[in-house]
Amino acid sequence: MSDPVLQTQNVKFKYERNTPDVLDDVTMSIERNVKTAILGANGAGKSTLFSILNALRKPDSGEVLYNGSPLSYRKKNINRMRSEVSILFQNPNDMLFRPIVEQDVAYGPENMKLPKDEVQKRVDDALFAVGMSEFRKSPTMKLSYGQRKRITLAGVLAMKPKVLIMDEPTAGLDPQMACEVMEIAEQLYRSGVTVIMSSHDTDLTYSWADEIHVMRHGKCVYSGPAEPFYSDKVEVYLSGLMPPMAFVMNEGLSSCGTVEREPFPRTQCQMSAKIGNSKASAGTLHIIPVEDGSDINALIDDNGFGDMTTGIYGMSARRAQDSSKARIDFVYNGPENCTLKCLSGSDAVLFCDPVMVESARASADYINKGGFADISLDIRN
Amino acid sequence: MHHPGLPKVLDGFDLEVEEGSRVGILGANGAGKTTLFYTLTGVYKPQEGEVLFRGQPIQYTADGLTEVRSKVSVVLQNPDEQMFCTLVEEDVAFSPLNIGMDRDEVEVRIDKALRDVRMSEYRKRPLQQLSGGQRKRVAIAGALAVDPEVMIMDEPTAGLDPQSSMEVMELAEKLHLRGVTVLISTHDIDLAYGWADRINVLRNGRKVYSGNSEDFYSDPENVHLCGLLPPSTFNMNREVSSMRGLSPAPYPHNSCEFLAKFGDKCNAGRIFCVPYKEGTGLSERHAEAAREAGPEAKIGVYGPDSRNALNGERIDFYFNGIDSCFSEAVLGRDSVLIYDEIFDTTVREQAEALRTLGADVRLEAVR
Amino acid sequence: MSEQAQMDAIAYSSKMLDWSPLGKLFFVICLLIVGLLTDSILVTLITFTIGLILMGYSTHFRVPLILTLAIGEAILIMILGSGMISIMGDANQPALWDGKFLWFTVHMTDASFQKAWVIFFRAIAGVTLMLSFACSTPIPHLAHALRSIKCPPEICELIVLIYRYAFLLLERFLIMLDAAQCRLGYNGAMTAVKSYAGAMTGTFIFSLELAEKSEASLACRNYRGYFPIYRMPQKMGVKWFAITIILVVALFLIGRETAGWIDMTAIFAPYMGW
């Protein structure tokens, strides 16, 4: 059932008179708790759309609806809306307002007029979530680009948004940090936040998003699942994009009959399983939910996981790994890599946050459902 | 070139870059890539060690540095940091004028450089009216205008949409074929994997690896420590090969090679090649090739000149034409590939690579 | 976009962009001086008309709103100023209007009324002339013009650099204000003040980092202490010199002959009952 959290109806917008519309009749509906990606070439109007969604700019005509009711652009309503809808800007330098890390993270909650101890708690939690707790007293100026990105993410998380808009969240980050940011996005989604992301990286959004909206010259030219869009080569070309590699290869192989076209593989491991189609027996994927402070070493020893490949996924899992100094094989892309291991016949164990279990098993489920392999799942509670 | 340099951020750094090679520089944020690039152009003088250009140590005098910088060009990650003029053409002319180039020559260079990055129509526009992606292109044009023998690009595709990234990589390939040594640093490991002959990996200011990509990615421990992840093509090849009981080598680097390795073996299709020479007519040859290849055949294009010369002809693959057309061929279908003449070598190399993977793609010359 | 960026865009699309900046500057300044020397309303009217025509030509006869606003604002200020001058005449001369107006003692004489008009027309002529120069000459061209009249090179390079970075800093500052809004930065007056301060600090830090980086990136592009200009704006030819001098002399002569030709008092008398 459709339950839009943010909608635009026939929104038109331009920055100056006598210039072409930057947004030209955009009608778009962003569903609550659906992983949404906004795609488009440089200058297609993605960032402008975000500023409209956050009421930074008022459309010249048309309406923006939040939770089904039109934005009134009265200060009070807007403030209430902004305390629930947050934007993470692409460049972290645009969002650093205060010289010390913890002060900067506290900026949003303080502006929300929260009580002091609540602010303090939120800052602690947010810094913890992005793994920057030990930097809380550092000057922001001394931090690297990647660290600044984490701080600004913490600053947004501290406002506990219900909707989080991320503009190019992985741009300029090295692969591991990009991977971590995607993990945080996934975790937010699993904890009930609607995450909207713009990106040029079609591979990345393909593996993550459930629904895509494609912008072109200020218009929204497509909304829906990714595959029908990428099947239309002309549209993809006109939109300045390239189809994701997993999609291209699947199309290629299915066109000459090597594999069936559907189900569409979206990640490396789904693709590998589909192409490999190994008849050899697959291993077991153990998924162990962990809390902050769980002793991973003890869990490995108690369950006899000693020789298995290990992976972690999620914030609590990371902290548990950190505190228990456990040796983990896959610190990044845990679910993907562990599932791949299972495909090649060995067993793997994945420690993840309780909310992340669904995400952790997604690839294995895809593989089992498609009949490409039979991975046994062992999910503990 | 040989650089045992040792500035603060770089430590005990030894790097050799072969003339005419495609070099990838990889490393996490803050590993020292940008500092390395500055050292290579003589902006930073190493506190210990020296930087050699073609066997000669760089002379840190005005003339010595001008000499180096008229051969070695750098494109920085953030275009705003390296643009100092107000108009596009002024900025492109900045380096050539600084190295004392003749004004008539500068005119030719500006024209060519802007055409290469497809920004000719913005020539007289002020920079602040351009978008981030367009500024990036102008920055690249500014470096091209020197007509460098070594081109260093720091994250050339960061912030660019996928098609613009493709164009930049085409440009890098074109420079390589003209004999320019190209160094690219990037976080896009898939891109570096498909492109570089050789990678150098930096970690905390030290070079921890130099060699081909496969050997590096085969050591997951090291990859992890360097803040990187293995490219998806590499990962998938390893897993699928092991599932199918194949050897991981030969390694596929792009989609068509991957398909050749793992697709059902069928008779490879033909590619009707149309090498395009600038200034000649394209539409007749396009029509001729399309007629020869048949109505089913897809048509791909590769290279800025060919793309500029198109005038409403039917094209199926505007970008990534080589990979797309070879994928078609691997899957047993004929296609037409229009490319700038200079990419002849690239096309032949691709056909050769596919042959080792068992797909015998035939290249048909179109008159 | 900000006003500064708008002015820049206007200058670059000006039809007078290719005219010699030094020539334009010389022309405008000479005309201003003539306007100041003369007592003739006719001459100030002529210079005002020249300014208007130039501005119209420069903007393809579509004067942008921002220029209209600027002129409007100037006229308003000058009406106030000239008004003040006109009502503070010499007490020994016969008054056209005497009495109290608000909290001013009014003593408007024929001379003061005439003088106010001359000053008013001089001022608006000056404004339109200066604006016609400003809206057709981007700062880099001005810097080049200064360089060619042997202004110290450090100052010229500084002008160019500040000009270039002003836009970048402004861009950054505006984005930061948006970012502040996203984090409820204007929720209350004190918060707003803090947010502005934060944005300024952020912009300042950015400017420091930018300055540091540009030093290296300038070196990358082999910067050697001066900014070369590729497309040189035209030099100030004899033509410019000749036209300006002829016009100035002509206006000066006209001014001498026509001082007092236009009697504003006489024009207004029927309406005001003087």
DSSP string over B293-316: H-TT-EEEEESHHHHHH--S---S
Residues of chain A neighbouring C206 (CB-CB closer than 8 A): 93
Nearest CA in chain C to A165: C182
| CB-CB contact of B75 with B156 (8 Å) | yes
| CB-CB contact of C186 with B98 (8 Å) | no
Q: CA of A53, closest CA in chain C: separation in Å?
A: 11
Q: Is the pLDDT of residue B5 over 50?
A: no
Does the predicted TM-score (pTM) go above 0.90? no
| CB-CB contact of C251 with C43 (8 Å) | yes
Residue A371: how many CB atoms within 10 A of its CB? Answer: 10
Nearest CA in chain A to C203: A94
Interface of C to B at Cβ within 8 Å reads 5, 8-9, 12, 138-140, 160-161, 163-164, 167-168, 171, 210, 213-214, 216-224, 227-231
Superfamily (CATH) of domain A4-238:
P-loop containing nucleotide triphosphate hydrolases (3.40.50.300)
**Which has more pLDDT, B338 or C104?**
B338
A16 touches chain C (CB under 8 A): yes
- Whole-angstrom distance, CA of residue A350 vs CA of residue A318: 12
In order along its 381 residues, chain A shows pLDDT tens digits of: 688 999 999 999 988 777 788 999 999 999 999 999 999 998 889 989 999 999 999 999 999 999 999 988 888 888 889 989 999 998 898 888 888 999 999 999 999 999 999 999 999 999 988 888 889 999 988 888 888 999 999 999 999 999 999 999 998 888 998 999 999 999 999 999 999 999 888 899 999 999 999 999 999 999 999 999 999 988 999 999 999 999 998 988 888 777 888 889 999 889 888 888 766 678 899 999 998 888 888 888 888 888 889 999 998 898 888 888 888 999 999 999 999 889 888 899 999 999 999 999 999 999 999 888 889 999 987
Please enumerate in sequence order all residues whose Cβ is within 8 A of that of B184, keeping only pairs 6 or more positions apart, or say none.
B22, B23, B24, B25, B152, B153, B156, B172, B192, B195, B196
Q: CA of C145, closest CA in chain B: separation in Å?
A: 16
Report the share of chain B in percent with pLDDT over 70. 97
Hey, are the CB atoms on A89 and C181 less than 8 Å from each other?
A: no
| CB-CB contact of B49 with B10 (8 Å) | no
Hey, are the CB atoms on A268 and B236 less than 8 Å from each other?
A: yes
A248 touches chain C (CB under 8 A): no
Partners of chain C (3+ Cβ pairs below 8 A): A, B
Give the residue ranges of chain C where pLDDT is below 70. Answer: 1-5
| CB-CB contact of C59 with C67 (8 Å) | yes
Question: Of chain B residues 101-140, which have a CB less than 8 A from chain C?
Answer: 103, 106, 110, 124-126, 128-129
Residues of chain A neighbouring C181 (CB-CB closer than 8 A): 54, 56, 82
Residue B357: how many CB atoms within 10 A of its CB? Answer: 18
The residue with tokens 């180039």 is B101
Fold that domain A280-379 belongs to in CATH? Cobalt-precorrin-4 Transmethylase; domain 1 (3.40.1010)
> Which element (helix H / strand E) includes C147?
helix C139-148
Tokens of B89: 């053409």
Nearest CA in chain A to B26: A174
Name the burial class of residue C225, with classes exposed (0-12), middle (13-18) and buried (19+) by CB atoms within 10 angstroms of its CB.
exposed
Tell me if residue B150 falls in helix, strand or coil. Answer: strand
Nearest CA in chain C to B107: C230
Residue A354: its pLDDT value, please?
Answer: 92
Sequence spans of domains, chain A: 4-238, 280-379
> Which element (helix H / strand E) includes A85?
strand A85-88
Q: Closest partner residue to A42 among B133, B263, B332, by Cβ? A: B133
Partners of chain B (3+ Cβ pairs below 8 A): A, C
Q: Closest partner residue to B263 among A176, A237, A256, by Cβ? A: A256
Residues of chain A neighbouring C178 (CB-CB closer than 8 A): 51, 56
Minimum mean pLDDT among B68-72, B218-222, C141-145: which range? C141-145
Residue B14: its pLDDT value, please?
Answer: 81
Nearest CA in chain B to C206: B81
Minimum mean pLDDT among A168-177, B141-150, B207-216: which range? A168-177
Cα Dmax for chain B: 64
Residues of chain A neighbouring B132 (CB-CB closer than 8 A): 42
Residues of chain A neighbouring C196 (CB-CB closer than 8 A): none
Q: Closest partner residue to A51 among C65, C178, C206, by Cβ? A: C178
Hey, are the CB atoms on A141 and C182 less than 8 Å from each other?
A: no
Residue B367: its pLDDT value, please?
Answer: 66
Residue-averaged pLDDT of chain B: 88
Please enumerate in sequence order all residues whose Cβ is within 8 A of that of A276, keeping only pairs 6 or more positions apart, or say none.
A343, A372, A373, B239, B240, B243, B244
Residues of chain C neighbouring A93 (CB-CB closer than 8 A): 172, 202, 206
Q: Is the pLDDT of residue B6 over 60?
A: no
Hey, are the CB atoms on B187 and A178 less than 8 Å from each other?
A: yes
Nearest CA in chain A to B256: A249
Residue B9: pLDDT band with limits 50, 70, 90 = low
Average of per-residue pLDDT across B323-336: 92
Tell me if residue A103 falls in helix, strand or coil. Answer: helix
Residue B114: pLDDT band with limits 50, 70, 90 = very high
Residue B246: its pLDDT value, please?
Answer: 86
- Provide the number of CB pairs (under 8 Å) joining chain A to chain B: 141
Residues of chain B neighbouring A272 (CB-CB closer than 8 A): 235-236, 239-240, 243
Radius of gyration for the alpha carbons in chain B, expressed in angstroms and rounded: 22
Partners of chain A (3+ Cβ pairs below 8 A): B, C
Q: Residue A29: beta bridge partners?
A: A7
Nearest CA in chain B to C212: B81
